[in-house]
Amino acid sequence: QQQVKQSPQSLIVQKGGISIINCAYENTAFDYFPWYQQFPGKGPALLIAIRPDVSEKKEGRFTISFNKSAKQFSLHIMDSQPGDSATYFCAALDGGATNKLIFGTGTLLAVQP
């Protein structure tokens, strides 16, 4: 119930292509869904986030698509660049008093020039 399942584990995309990472959850009480980007040797950094009352959110080349009925959400990176090469984590917020984030297992993205 508390898991967030993320796929694929790794992804190779050509420069200019679209990168798509998918996540699924079970707990309908989750009320906030962020994506984090992590470069080697650094901590995760918030990239973009969405709430379940919205089906899509776009920030520059990054878009979250959210399907509440299917309990799935995905990250799309348009016009992928070598500088986007990083590990991406989806997460879901277990709301209430503790506000704990439950993380997916991560996707290692490599954008080839």
Q: Does 45 bind another protein (CB under 8 A)?
A: yes
Report the nearest approach of another protein to the CB of residue 44 (Å): 5
Instruction: For another protein, give the closer residue by CB, 19 or 35.
Output: 35
Give the DSSP letter string of the chain. ---EEEE-SEEEEETTS-EEEEEEE--TT---EEEEEE-TTS--EEEEEE-TT-SEEEETTEEEEEETTTTEEEEEESS--GGG-EEEEEEEEE-SSS-EEEE---EEEEEE-
Q: Binding another protein by CB under 8 A: which of 46, 54, 67, 82?
A: 46
Distance CA 99, CA 68 (A): 20
Which listed residue (89, 92, 109, 111) binds another protein by CB under 8 A?
A: 89
Q: Which of 11, 22, 76, 101 binds another protein (CB under 8 A)?
A: 101
> What's the min distance (Å) between Cβ of 103 and another protein?
4
Instruction: Check residue 110 for interaction with another protein (CB under 8 A).
Output: no
Determine how β-strand 10-14 pairs with β-strand 107-112. parallel
Binding stretches for another protein (CB under 8 A): 6, 9, 32, 34, 41-46, 49, 89, 93, 97-101, 103-106
